[in-house]
Homo-oligomer: A and B are copies of this chain.
Amino acid sequence: MAPDFRRWIIEAYGEIYGRPHLDKKEQALIVILSLVTQGAHTQLATHIKRGMNAGLTKEQVEECIIQCLPYNGFPRVQQALTILKEIIEE
């Protein structure tokens, strides 16, 4: 279903992630921050794992999420930290 959609994801990922300005870890952090801020928790686990595979440490992900606290408020940050905790405990 939706083969165009799948193609776009691949193209967008290829194009965006292939840009030379940021390394894989920085790119992953940016996506994580966008997902945390918009409350897109369903996709968050996937992107945290991707970032950690690219070399992000648990502390770096946690620190970035916490840094959003004064701007995003407790609910979105708390839920993101819960998801991070589940990933680490897996």
Contact = CB atoms under 8 A, between A and B. Distances in A.
B9 A74 contact: yes
Could you say how many copies of this chain the assembly holds?
Answer: 6
Contact of A66 (B4, B59, B66): B4
Interface string A54-73: 00000110111011111111
Interface residues of A, number: 48
A75 B30 CA distance: 14
Interface of A: 1-2, 4-5, 8-9, 12-13, 15-16, 19, 21-22, 27, 30-31, 33-35, 37-40, 42-43, 59-60, 62-64, 66-79, 81, 84-85, 88
12 contacts: A1-B85, A2-B62, A5-B78, A12-B74, A27-B67, A30-B68, A34-B68, A35-B71, A35-B75, A37-B38, A72-B73, A73-B73
